[in-house]
Chains A and B, each alone.
Chain A
Amino acid sequence: MILQVCFSLYAALAADAGAAAPPQDPTPPQGMVFVPAGEFIMGSNVGDADESPQHVASTGAFFMDAFEVSNADFKTFDPNFSYPEAQDNFPAIVTWDQAKAYAKHVGKRLPTETEWEKASRGVDGRIFPWGDTYDPSYVQYDESQGIGETIAKPQSPYGCFDMAGGAMEWTSSWYQPYAGNTVACDSYGEKFRVLRGGTTFNDQFHMRCSHRFYLPPNTTSNYRTGFRCVKDIG
């Protein structure tokens, strides 16, 4: 009897242990990385007013492109898309409308700005995708460098490249204040889409993970506006 109880207990524990075992990370599609579900530190209290308040946000799990969509990628979707010679592997500079259409075409979507920020800085509130200090070797310093061609090639915590500098990246989010932000701004509303990551042409202030930029969806306004996509899991 005692033996039977012990065996039953062992069997129950073993079953529990099996249930508690962390699931294997799903294998990302080629060119994408896995970003797990969960909370992370979003925003900043020392950046622009629209980055505040720093708060805890959460996302579901998703896959994200490891690199920005390139000119060559985009041309497979839009054969009329033109770009400078010998820049196949440079970020495609497009409007939000173009970016959204591409993402749909390849069975993906644009990230929300919450997803973008989590993929960029992980859970620990770091300033840049690689940590808290800036170095020119970590970013595409000028427009002679293409995708993935930084000197140091730092990755975000989940394995994304070029999330600081390069091209600023479109997200699906409208430019709205965060909950608890009381600083008025005429630009808030459903007029502008948020871009993240800054460009090579900006001060490093704009390359911080928490920095927000905004533009109308139908124009690049001469900025270097690129994008990367996400894909839902399951």
Chain B
Amino acid sequence: MKQWAAIAVLCVFADLATAQKVNEFPKRDDPLHVRVAMFEELMQGNHWNEDVVMPDIIFPPAGEDRPLVGNQEDATGHTGVTLAAYAYKYAVTQDLQDRTLADRLMEAVLTLERVTGVPGVMARTFNRVDEPLWHEQVYFFPSEWHQSTTMPGYRWQGDLSSDKFVDLTYGVSKYWELAADGKHKQVAADFIDRFVGRCVDHNFRLVDFDGKTTLWGNFCPDLPHENLNAMEMLAGLKTAYRLTGKDRYREAYERLIKKYHYDEEAIMARRLWPEMWTVPWDDELASKSFCQLMPYETDPALRNKYTMSLHRYGFAWKSNEYQRSEQLWYPMLYQAFAGVDVLDAKWQEAMRAQWGFDRVKRTFNVPQKDGTVKQMESEEEGNATDLIHNYWFGRYYGFIDPQW
């Protein structure tokens, strides 16, 4: 549905190398583990903006030597998912360098909170700049950019959405379980307490610094909401209780189930028909919620309901043709938590052929300070977040052969 029609006008693919920090791309026929390692280098070198993971970056129009400009409104989400990926990776490798990377990502999550100046309020992204960059007027909603009062010289973007709630609770829960040491476990738990706690305090809504519910931040039991959002909030509360041990989260979880029947809504979270009413990325959000609910829920009746919901997703995923990277995650998740053997030859072939991104040349309409628009040619990189996450999830659960 997102239509940022105002942005680029031309898109010309090209392979090229410039003065970016990392310029070496893998070859298509490299083994999967080599491709993943090289895309990890590309992401860390070119996309980590003070360790916040920028999904798309644009080079010279900003004239900067570090990633600043791009489609940034999902940076918090990519940071959360990458945090989960490095938690899985550390669990597999036990390499302290991987744990350090996970620690850095957790610190970036804290910076995304600190920059807003309000405990529990998260930025979608931030940039170390003194004045608005041109892309603030082009991507997402310009009025959501703010000058930080707590981090002078930084600008941040607000209006966090439910998908970022899921990305953060998922990423931090995996970090807490698999990678964090004792000190960092406390840091992660304290963060979740502030973030989920603020949502609970506002009757299960993501409320921005101006007191308004964000455009997609509604989990409220007293108002109409999506069934999927009900499941997402159950997952967030389950994680909050696991990490903090505070009864308020257990009580909130039980209240949403007993009084408001959120468990029943969770069963129906996947809309099956008509196709136009299904949203591709909603399946990702559900999957991350399952990764919190299934390991944490011990009540057989509730586990049964969440498994029924997962089967509903499994039914919808049967016809997937693996057109997008995240679709390769779903069968692994389904097999891991529902115990259904779906990782067939077709999936293995698709997984082994998975790719991160290409560097492309595009022409952008760049707004100037005098109100005119100047066309500028630049390079752009997409991201390899799903590739890295899929790979280490698969390695952790034993679905991916290290030799692939």
Residues of A within 8 A of B (CB): 46-50, 84, 127-128, 132-134, 136, 141-143, 183, 185-187, 200-206, 208, 213, 215-216, 219, 221-223
- Which of the candidate stretches B216-224, B286-294, B324-332, B343-351 sits at the interface with the other chain? B216-224
B387 vs chain A, min Cβ distance (A): 28
Q: How large is the interface on B (under 10, 10 to 19, 20 to 34, 35 or more residues)?
A: 20 to 34
List which B213-236 residues lie within 8 A (CB) of chain A: 213, 215-218, 220, 222-226, 229
Residue from A46, A128, A221, A222 having most chain B Cβ neighbours under 10 A: A222
Residue of A nearest to B207 (CB): A48
A78 vs chain B, min Cβ distance (A): 19
Contact B216 A48 (CB under 8 A): no
Q: List 15 A-B contacts (CB under 8 A).
A: A46-B223, A48-B213, A49-B211, A127-B224, A141-B277, A142-B276, A183-B211, A185-B210, A202-B215, A203-B226, A204-B218, A205-B225, A221-B142, A222-B4, A222-B141
State A215–B276 Cα separation when bound (angstroms). Answer: 30
Contact B140 A46 (CB under 8 A): no
Residues of B within 8 A of A141 (CB): 276-277
Residues of A within 8 A of B143 (CB): 215-216, 219, 221
A115 vs chain B, min Cβ distance (A): 22
State A187–B280 Cα separation when bound (angstroms). Answer: 35
Contact B215 A204 (CB under 8 A): no
Q: Given A46-B220, A203-B215, A205-B217, list of 11 further CB < 8 A pairs?
A: A46-B203, A48-B213, A127-B223, A141-B276, A185-B210, A201-B215, A202-B215, A203-B218, A205-B213, A205-B220, A221-B141
State A208–B1 Cα separation when bound (angstroms). Answer: 20
**B128 proximal to A (CB < 8 A):** no
**B3 proximal to A (CB < 8 A):** yes
State A46–B225 Cα separation when bound (angstroms). Answer: 13
Residues of B within 8 A of A202 (CB): 215-216
One of B2, B141, B212 near A223 (C-beta < 8 A):
B141
List which B139-164 residues lie within 8 A (CB) of chain A: 140-143, 162
Residues of B within 8 A of A (CB): 1-6, 140-143, 162, 203, 205, 210-213, 215-218, 220, 222-226, 229, 276-277
Residue of A nearest to B214 (CB): A203
State A41–B203 Cα separation when bound (angstroms). Answer: 23
Residue of A nearest to B221 (CB): A46
Residue of B nearest to A145 (CB): B276
Contact B223 A208 (CB under 8 A): yes
State A200–B216 Cα separation when bound (angstroms). Answer: 12
Contact B216 A203 (CB under 8 A): yes
One of B2, B142, B223, B276 near A47 (C-beta < 8 A):
B223
Given contacts A221-B141, A222-B142, contact A142 B211 (CB under 8 A): no
Residues of B within 8 A of A183 (CB): 211
A232 vs chain B, min Cβ distance (A): 32
State A49–B212 Cα separation when bound (angstroms). Answer: 7
Residues of B within 8 A of A50 (CB): 211-212
Residues of A within 8 A of B141 (CB): 221-223
Residues of A within 8 A of B220 (CB): 46, 205
Contact B222 A46 (CB under 8 A): yes
Contact B217 A222 (CB under 8 A): no
Residue of B nearest to A221 (CB): B143
Residue from B2, B4, B218, B229 having most chain A Cβ neighbours under 10 A: B218
State A50–B143 Cα separation when bound (angstroms). Answer: 19
Contact B215 A136 (CB under 8 A): no
One of B5, B205, B226, B276 near A204 (C-beta < 8 A):
B226
Residues of A within 8 A of B4 (CB): 222
Residues of A within 8 A of B276 (CB): 141-142
